Structure formats: structure tokens, C-alpha cells
Structure 1
Amino acid sequence: MNQSAKRHSPLQVALIGGAIATTATVSVFGPAWTRCVRAALQDSPKALVDQVWQVVNREYVDGSFNKQDWQATRQSLLSKNYSSNEEAYVAIREALQKLGDPYTRFMDPKQYEALTSQTSGEVSGIGIRMEVNDKTKRLTVVEAIENSPALRGGIKAGDEILAIDGKSTLGLKVDDASKLIRGKAGTPISLQLGRAGQNAVTVKLTRANIEVPTVRYTLKQEGNRRVGYIRLREFSAHAAEQMRRAIRDLSNQKVDAFVLDLRGNPGGLLQASIEIARMWLDDGGIVRTVNRQGYSEDTKANRTALTKLPLAVLVDGNSASASEILTGALKDNKRAIVIGGQTFGKALVQSVHELSDGSGLAVTIAHYYTPAGTDINHKGITPNIKIDLTEAQERQLASNPSLVGTQSDPQYARAIAVLSSNNFAQFSASQSTRPMSASASDLQF
């Protein structure tokens, strides 16, 4: 949120906070005392402990620190001797637990690396999606990602991965195989592949940094309507540009309406959600954030919408954080009909800091509200049309993902029914202020 601190370090990446900025470790005890402490703590686990304490002390959204004596916590932390960074990690986590906020959390170097990789929307590897085939029990390629070493190397969906750098994949789980395949860009990797009706072949590739697709879209013919179906899995650094391509491509194909699927989307970068909201909204508020000092910042649309076509948004109990910001903006501005289950209910913004040893710290820095001023924390957003899937329907879609976004998907089918209605505009306006419970017939699509 603070855009002006780029002269400092360590790196701070705002998680559903959007800004990439840098911050200084500022002590509250005065410069001379601070210099002495820093000299004494330099390159020790205590330096890490103090760094975490300082960031929380400066930025945490609750100035009472959950009614904890945060100064006494610092004294306690620095009074201990730590023989390793791992011991310091334990103490840090115990101190953060006192805040009673699951989103303010410490990450060891591996956990921090995983988070930054996820939010960057990039991985270093060969660019394939894999699964263990239910029938053959073999590790199988589901997709070779566009512009990836795998696609350029001729790898196709359905290819069985028999070995990775000479190591057999028999009985190997997808996560374990992924660890073998990922690696530093520019390094070589060898895959032995099996393909129906052919002898096994060995493919040699060079790993590269690959943009992970977080937006998938397709044109669907639903009766006499052409519908652009877009599924957004998370709000990564590349999500906005991928969404822009999807909207433009589908618009060029002369769609009549859109379905935006945010089900299962856990959130991500705030700035990505703002940019995507502006692709659908010409005017109106998007989100209001309030920090510890009570400073309020309103973010609005800026007349950059890419389409004004009818829009339905699909959500569920796992649509959280940045997903709820986007959903709240579209619903409150009556730009879309929201269909599905109650959303997760996370209305807090975190900033993420890289620490001196490569570990990381996420700190809640603000509370956010929808354009109508609604606090959705622990409550979620109530859809205009509330339609929950039965356990049987959830199992069916989970076991057969190809059914998601089809008429066999009750929430999608309801969206198509609404978008196909001749009085969609009137329906949108009249239903935007109150939830509509699904009837038994709604569940039979």
C-alpha cells in the first residue's frame, strides 16, 4: 500500500496488497541504542527475531497487538540464546501466535520460496501438467503448456513419463515427480516417454522459466447464445494480462455473454484483483482498505472496461480474499449476477517481507470493505442466487473435471439459464440487493 519506500530493504511484496515496495527496519528505541543492538546481533539468529518483531511492531493492523504487551514480547525474545536459525523460527512462531491472526505468519526459506513462486505466476521447469492415470497407474502428461520446452520438444497430452533423468517413475506421486522435473533455468533434463503404438523414446530438454496459466477460457455454444467461459485459478502477477487476453479473444469471437468462474480461487495479489475488476467495470468503487491508523484508501474503476456484455460470476466456499474483492466489486456495482455458495470471508490484507536469511514474514496490514461498505470478514459474500452443490455433485465434478463448466455443473447451468433470460437486465437490478435461495429445480441441472 505504501508506494514510496523503494529506497530501503528488505524486499516487501504485498499479498492481496499489490504494491511491490521496500521497507526499512526501524527501531522505536532511538538511533544510538539501535546501532549498538544491531552490531551485537549482526549475523545471529537474534537479528532475525528482532527483524520480525520490528516489522510487526511497525505494520500490524491491530495497534493493541491482540491486547498483548508487544514490548515485553521483544524483551523476552531477545533475552534468549538461539543456537540456530531453526530455534529462532520456533520462538518467532510462538510470538506470532499471540496475535491470534492466522494470516500473520512466518515462513522458513522453502515455504517463502514456494509462496513467491506461486504469486509470481512462474516456475522453472519444462512446462507440463501431469497426473497418475487411474487405469494405467502411470505418470501421464495432461498438457504441455504453451511456449514451454515440453511443447517445443514434442511432448503431447497422453504421453507416459517412464523415467526422469534415468529414475523410474513407477509408483512415483505427482508431487515427487514435480520436484525431480523442476530446477534452475538453463539446466538439462532427460525424460523417457511412452506413447501408444510406439517404442519408448528419450527426450532431452533444457529447463526454463515458464509463465503458469492461471486463466483458462473457451467459447461455448449454449442454445442460441455464444458464451465466453473464463476460469481464474488465482491472482498471480500474470493473472491480469492473461485475463485481458481472454476477454479480448472471446470478444473477437462475438460472444453474447460471459461466465467468470472464481470457484476454488484462494486469492493472491490485490493489485491483480483491482486490474481485473477494471476490465469489467467502467465506473464505481472496487475496494476500500483501512490501516492501523484508520487511514482509508478507496480504489475505483477508471473507465477502462473491455466489455459491457452480461456477466455471471461463480463462487463457492473456497473463493477467498482477492476473489472476494473482485466479486464484491462486481456485485455491489450491479455489474454481474453472482451465483453459487457463500464465499470464504477473508477481508484482511497482508504484506510479505523477505527476511535476512531467505525466510519470509506475512503481516496483516489492513482491513478491506466492499464498495457498499460491507465487512465480509468471517461472513463471506452472499450470492445473488445461492445454490450449493450436494456432496454427490461435488464428488462427480471432482472425479471428472471435464464436467466443470458444462450443463452437468449445476452452478454453471444456472448461470447459463440466467444469462439466457430475456429480462436479464431487470433480473440483475432487482436481485442485486438480496440473496435468492436455490429451489429444488435449480439443483437438477
Structure 2
Amino acid sequence: MAVCRRRCGDRRPRGVRGDDPGDRGLRLARAGPAVPAPLAAAGRPRPRLESVAVGRGHRHRRKPARRAAVSLPYGTAQRRALDDPKRFGLLREIEHLVETRYIDRRVTDPQLLYGAARGMLGALGDPYLRFMDPQAYKEFQESSFAGQFTGIGIIMDLKDGQVIVVSPIPGTPAARAGLLAGDRIGKIDGRPTREMALQRAVSLIRGPRGTVVHLAVTRGAQLLDVAITRDVIQAPSVSGDEVLEGPMRDRLRALNLAYVRVVTFDERTGDEFARAVATVLARPARGLILDLRSNGGGLVESAVRVADEFVPRGPIVSTVDRDGKRSTEQADGTARLHLPTVVLVNEYTASASEIVAGALQDDHLAVLVGIQTFGKGVVQTIFPLAGGSGAAITTYKYLTPSGRSIHAVGLIPDVIAGARLEGTSAEVVRRIQAQQLDRAIEVLQARLP
């Protein structure tokens, strides 16, 4: 899942037309004056935007145009619920039956209320909609993409109603335990995950440092029971060729080709990638391989900052709301990378990472090598609700610079290489990844002047 917020700091304001795009997919933002005056005066919570991609914001003030677009329907729905109590007569009848006839008297009001909220969103059949009770919403806020948390170190998403591992973060307990991209988590400490909300799965896997979580994992035909000790996870989101095996690293350096891998897009990614770019330019390298394989997304602002290093001008990503209103995020004109570039992608390249790959492909700034990407191209808005709970509602879809919607479709690489990772062994995963990297080197060499 991917979430995004705009970063304040030494960057000058971006060229934005209308409003900004909204990834554990696109934007998480504080909506200030967006709330209608009567609701703000009444102390109603304000909505926030999330792009739920796979998994893991930078802050800038949100443009008034989008705030209004997000908040007004929300306030209208609130007023309608208050003015027309008959709309929820059926729920009140069921509540009365449970309170007066149900055999178990231990039922609580929050149980019924939160269950009804989950059922209402679940009825829409959108896997990215979710209700968060106060505890889940608190955990969501605390995990806001700062790059550090206590858990096992995996990026997860939902696929076919199941929790899947998009990528284990290198050097974490999950990676050391042997979890692989494509593993399906069937149970967490004995709790079945089928149709479980993603944030609920995240909260169950996280926990105090030193405690153990037990996962029932399906890998192809294998059923595995994995016990993993939780730890503080603080891994860099960007790395260079030091993560490669010695022979491959030596080969790239002999060819004077740079390699940069982005694992996820969190609050540190923009700065880390800027430092990586400085290293590449200092060499100087003849070409660049940008590895976005098994990058489940994250903060769209971080993705835009990465794309800014390549895209000299023009659009990077656009969003479209339910009324067809389109808003575009423009390149800021600070691009430093003008090298022949290959971008590695696979079936777990999703959301914010698809924004980067799509922008570079559309502008013919890079060749995509690998297999078809995940296809996460919608944006969720996070609305704080009464009592400390919250809800994620799908409010936008995003488009690549050429106007492509990649949702449920993904990006098709320019050069197909490798195969799907799901259900394969660690040995096969390594072989596929090596084949793709070999092909990327061949393609890049052919593009060198």
C-alpha cells in the first residue's frame, strides 16, 4: 500500500494545475480549510488523503481546490445522515434485536457499530476500502511512513482476498526467515487472514521488539509455519550496487554502469535518492539501471521527487475524480539524470513505483525491462471519523503522463524478461532476478552512445 504527503522544506513550490495527486498507494495530506465551516465549527475531524498501494509522506499544504472536492461530499453525507434518520432504520432494528433477543449479553455497542461500518464498505467489493477502529487508526497514523517501525520487515498487499508478501525488506527478520515475494499469509498467530483488512493484518504482525509472531504461509504447493521475532525495522529505502553479489557488482563497475535500487517510497526516499544521484554523477557513469522490482509503492510525493530527477518538464502524474475533474503534477525542472536508463519491474512493482516507471516510459526517458507490473492505479482518501476511528474511501484514479490508466492492468515492459515470482523457491527467485538484470545490462549497453 502506498501513502503520500507533500514535503515542506527547501524545495520550491511545484507547478501544480488545480490540485495534487492523492500508496501501503498516492497521497496522504492534512486537509485544513477544506472542511465546511459548520462542520469545522462543530469540531468534526478532517479528511486525509491516502494512495493505498502496496504497503508502506512528504508534507506540503494541500491546494484548496482538492480540499473542497474531497470535503464537501463528506459533509453533505454527514448532514443527510443526521437529517434523515429513517435511512438507517434497518440497522436500528437489527441493533434492537441483538440487544433484546441475542443469547449472548456481552455484545458491546462498538462491536455492532464497527461491524456495521466494515460491512457497509465491504459490500462495495473494493479491496482498497476499509474501516479502521480507533486502535487500527491510531496504528495507521503512527506508522506514517517515517521509515522506522517495530515488526518483521515486509511490504504486504491484498490479492484475491488474501494477504500477500510484496517484498521482504533486505536485512530484516522477514528476509532472514526466508519469506519471499509472492508468499501468501494464511494465518497470523492462528487468525485466518482471508478477507481480512490489510491494516488489520499489519497491526497483527507488528508488536513489541523481541516478541514472536507465527505465520502460516503458502508458497505454491508448500504450507510453511514460520516463527519470526519482531525487531525495530530501519532499513534504507534506496541502495546502490553494494547490495549486489560481488561478480555482478564488479561487472557493472567494469562497464561503468550505475545501479540504484528503490525498495519503497517513504519519507526518506527523496533525500536518499538525491544522494544516490550525486554519487552516480560523481563517477561519472555511462548509464543507469533503476531497480523497482518488488517495490510495492508508498508515498507519491517521494515518487514524484524521484521522477523529478529524470523528467525535465511536463506532467509526471495526473488524478481524475468521480466527476472527471483532472489535476496534474508537473515536473519541477530540477532533473539531473540525463543518462541512458533501464528500469527493472516485475509483478510486484506497484502504485507509487508504477508512477515513476510510467512517467519514464511515457516520456521515452527509460526502457522498462521485466514483466507486467501490479496495476494499482487508484487513490484512497483517509477520513477521520467520530470516536477516533477512520475510513479509507477510493476517491481518485491516477493516469500516466500520456493519459493511461494502469489500474488492474499494469505497465507492459518494453522488453519482457524473466517470469513471475509467486510460488517459486528462493533459488528460482534468484535465478529470475539474475536473468532480468543480465537482460537489463544488454539493453542498456545497446543504448550507450
Report if TM-score (shorter chain) is over 0.5: yes
- Alpha-carbon deviation of 1:211? 5.2
- Tell me by how many angstroms 1:216 deviates: 1.9
Give the aligned partner of residue 58 of structure 1: 73
Q: Secondary structure at the match of 1:86?
A: helix
% of aligned pairs identical?
Answer: 29
Any idea what SS the aligned residue of 1:248 has?
Answer: helix
State the alpha-carbon separation in 1 of the partners of residues 443 and 360 from structure 2.
16
Measured after TM superposition, the shift of residue 132 of structure 1 is 8.6
**CA shift for structure 1 position 121:** 2.9
Tell me which residue corresponds to 2:318: 288
Give the alignment partner of residue 353 of structure 2, picking from 323, 338, 342.
323
Q: 1:360 to 1:275 in 2, by over 3 A?
A: same
Root mean square deviation, CA, Å: 4.3
CA contact (8 A) 1:132 1:174 kept: no
Match of 2:26 among 17, 23, 26: 17
The answer to whether residue 251 in structure 2 is matched with residue 222 in structure 1 is yes
Distance 1:57 1:88 in 2: 24
State the Cα distance separating 1:114 from its structure 2 match. 4.8
- Structure number with greater CO (CA < 8 Å, separation at least 6) is 2
Q: Is the 8 A contact 2:368 2:414 kept in 1?
A: yes
The answer to whether residue 386 in structure 2 is matched with residue 363 in structure 1 is no
The answer to whether the Cα contact below 8 Å between 2:295 and 2:349 also exists between their aligned partners in 1 is: yes
| TM-aligned CA deviation for residue 381 of structure 1 | 0.9
Q: Does 1:83 align with 2:111?
A: no
**1:96 alignment counterpart:** 121
The alpha-carbon deviation at position 95 of structure 1 amounts to: 0.6
- Is the Cα contact below 8 Å between 1:418 and 1:424 reproduced in 2? no
Match of 1:339 among 369, 372, 387: 369
Task: Answer whether contact 1:284 1:333 (CA < 8 A) is retained.
Answer: no
Counterpart residue identity of residue 177, structure 1 = T
| Equivalent residue, structure 1, for 2:307 | 277
Structure 1 residues not aligned, in runs of 5+: 4-12, 39-54, 61-69, 136-163, 183-209, 426-445
Deviations 1:95-123 (A, max 9, x none): 11233321121123454455445542333
Cα displacement string for residues 383-410 of structure 1 (whole angstroms, at most 9, x for unaligned residues): 101223266995345665xx786xxx11
State the alpha-carbon separation in 2 of the partners of residues 345 and 71 from structure 1.
Answer: 40
Paired residues for 1:6-405 under 5 Å: 15=23, 16-22=25-31, 58=73, 76=90, 81=95, 83-123=108-148, 129-130=172-173, 177-178=229-230, 181=231, 212-218=235-241, 220-222=249-251, 224-389=254-419, 394-397=424-427
The answer (yes or no) to whether the contact 1:287–1:368 under 8 Å persists in 2 is: yes
**Residue type at the aligned position of 2:346:** D
Say whether 1:410 aligns with 2:425.
no
Return the letter of the residue paired with 1:21.
R
Deviation string 1:259-316 (CA, Å, 9 cap, x unpaired) is: 1111111212222211111111112321111112322111121221121111111111
Amino acid at match of 2:408: H
Measure how far apart 1:14 and its partner are. Answer: 5.0
Give SS of 1:249's match. Answer: helix
Instruction: Using the TM superposition, give the Cα deviation of residue 418 of structure 1 relative to its aligned residue in structure 2, in angstroms.
Output: 0.8
Mapped to 1, the partners of 2:38 and 2:396 lie a distance apart of 28
C-alpha displacement of 1:332: 0.2
Q: 1:390 to 1:369 in 2, by over 3 A?
A: closer
CA distance in 1, matches of 2:278, 2:112: 52
d(CA) in 2 for partners of 1:360 and 1:175? Answer: 31
- Alignment partner of 2:229: what SS? helix
TM superposition score normalised by structure 1: 0.60
- Supply the AA of the counterpart residue of 1:420: Q
Bigger mean CA deviation after superposition, 108-117 or 255-264: 108-117
| Alpha-carbon separation, structure 2, partners of 1:25 and 1:378 | 31
Change (3 A) 1:2 1:264: closer
Q: Which amino acid aligns with 1:294?
A: G
With over 3 angstroms needed to count, the CA separation of the structure-2 counterparts of 1:305 and 1:175, relative to structure 1, is farther
| 2:379 partner SS | strand
Distance 2:150 2:445 in 1: 43
Change (3 A) 1:231 1:110: farther
What amino acid is aligned across from residue 27 of structure 2 in structure 1?
A: G
- 8 Å contact from structure 2 (residues 22, 380) kept in 1: yes
SS in 1 for 2:173: strand
2:194 is matched with: none
Instruction: Determine if contact 2:34/2:71 at 8 Å carries over to the other structure.
Output: no
Rg (Cα) greater in structure: 1
Residue deviations 1:177-222 (CA, integer Å, cap 9, x gap): 21xx45xxxxxxxxxxxxxxxxxxxxxxxxxxx8542222226343
AA partner of residue 30 (structure 2): A
SS state at 2:118 partner: helix
SS in 1 for 2:297: coil
User: 3-state DSSP class of the match of 2:117?
Assistant: helix
Which residue pairs with 2:445 in the alignment? 420
Contact 2:211–2:229, Cα closer than 8 Å, also in 1: no
For 1:106 and 1:398, locate their aligned partners in 2 and report how far apart those are by CA, in whole Å: 38
What are the Cα deviations for residues 361-392 of structure 1, in whole angstroms up to 9, with x where unaligned?
21212111111111212211111012232669
The 1:283–1:26 alpha-carbon spacing in structure 2 relative to 1, beyond 3 Å, is: closer
CA distance in 2, matches of 1:231, 1:247: 12
Figure out how many residues of one structure are paired with residues of the other and give that number.
322
Give, as a single letter, the amino acid of the residue that structure 2 aligns with 1:339.
V
User: Could you tell me whether the CA contact under 8 Å between 1:131 and 1:174 is conserved in 2?
Assistant: no
